[in-house]
Structure 1
Amino acid sequence: REGRRAVELLPVAEDSLNGVRMIEYLAITAAWVGEKDLACEQLAIATRLPGNLSYGQLKLLPYWDPLRGDPRFEKIVADLAPK
């Protein structure tokens, strides 16, 4: 609940750098507490915004371990893969 509030308090429209970070942090937190639906939803939003999460970060950072194997997460990662 507090993570959602942080995203509301600092929307991307007001702060394009830190607002996106709040979305990313909410996705990480949701992943670690088992809320995979929320995590994938927020991750999809964050990856659509320029200059934020990269293929390498999603592929290698342990933050995303709880989502590995989830088809939604794997699709997000595949969409970011270098062509």
Structure 2
Amino acid sequence: MGYAERPVRRKAADLPELDRFRFDEMVNGDRKVWGLPAIAQVLGCGVDKARRLANDPSTGAPISKKGGQYFALRNRLLAWLVEGDQ
């Protein structure tokens, strides 16, 4: 086994801290969320609020409309929520 073939071993100190958001991203990844009720559930708000967020570009909410139905990626919704808290 040559040098280039050896697996890279990392120490725990080299890895970023695992918080609940990173864990969700690792487990769920880019899980697709279709429809306003499902998007509202991820955001923790009502369907009307999710619709207002989706239709108002000034909010920056990562919600789009594809084929007449609202669509988002779960990890982007969660990241958007966290960014709003900072």
- Give TM-score scaled by structure 1 length: 0.23
Which is helix-richer, 1 or 2? 1
**Which one has the largest radius of gyration?**
2
Which is strand-richer, 1 or 2? 2
